[in-house]
Amino acid sequence: MNYQYIEQLIERYFECQTTLHEEQILRTFFAGEDVPGHLMQYAELFQSEVNAKAETLGDEFDRKMLALVQEESNKTVQKQKRTTEKPQNRATEHRLAPFFRAAAVVAIALTVGRATDHALRDQAAEGTEDAIAIDPYIRQADIQNAIRVKDISQAKAKPQTDSLIVQPLNETMQ
């Protein structure tokens, strides 16, 4: 075998001048039995690089990955289901929209109605409160008093007028 060619390849290899194909020739050469003593020092380098391919992940990793992927695709299926369900919900919403609107109008009408009703009642209550709280008990009493006083005074007044008439008589009697 022509070692000169191999030696030349090794030299070019360390200069980064070799092609991938030439580097493969070197690996094949060093994997063989007939490596001369003066090149044995490089054997380690080229052999170990071939053996590095032994660094792999086994079947257990595959099983784990496939389970994870299954889980992931289940999730996406669920997501897709959810996204397809949503338009249906929207469709029912669309169909029910007039009812919602009607309900809203009724609700507004009720609220406004109740509010105005309440406000009016409040006003009325205020009015009657005035009438009841101030007039009936105080004024009516006053009125009653006034009436009574009037009655009394009228009653007195009559005698008074009588007495006025009589007074001079009394005075004259006394």
Partner 1 sequence: MDFSHDILPLKNVLFRTALRITLNREDAEDIVQDTLLKLWERRDTLGNIQNLEAFAITAARNLALDRKELAHNKVIPLNEQEHDQPDKHQLSVHESLVQEEKINHIFELINQLPEKQRTAIQLREIEGKTYREIADIMNTTEADVKINIYRGRNFLKNHCNFSAAEPSSL
Residues that bind partner 1 (CB under 8 A): 13-16, 20, 23-24, 40-42, 44-45, 47-49, 51-57, 61-62, 64-66, 68-69, 72
Of 79 and 148, nearer to partner 1 (C-beta) is 79
Can you tell me the distance from the alpha carbon of 17 to that of 25, in angstroms, rounded to the nearest whole number? 14
Q: Which is it for the CA torsion 112, 113, 116, 117, positive or negative?
A: negative
List CB contacts of 31: < 8 A, sequence separation 6 or more: 46, 47, 50
Can you tell me the distance from the alpha carbon of 57 to that of 51, in angstroms, rounded to the nearest whole number? 15
Of 27 and 157, nearer to partner 1 (C-beta) is 27
Can you tell me the distance from the alpha carbon of 1 to that of 30, in angstroms, rounded to the nearest whole number? 13
Q: What is the CA radius of gyration of the chain?
A: 60
Of 43 and 166, nearer to partner 1 (C-beta) is 43
Q: How far is the CB of 67 from partner 1 (least distance, A)?
A: 11
Q: How far is the CB of 12 from partner 1 (least distance, A)?
A: 11
CA atoms within 13 A on the CB side of 52: 8
Can you tell me the distance from the alpha carbon of 95 to that of 102, in angstroms, rounded to the nearest whole number? 13
Q: How far is the CB of 113 from partner 1 (least distance, A)?
A: 57
Q: How far is the CB of 109 from partner 1 (least distance, A)?
A: 52
Of 15 and 34, nearer to partner 1 (C-beta) is 15
User: Is 40 within 8 Å of 57 (Cβ atoms)?
Assistant: no
Q: How far is the CB of 42 from partner 1 (least distance, A)?
A: 7
Of 56 and 84, nearer to partner 1 (C-beta) is 56
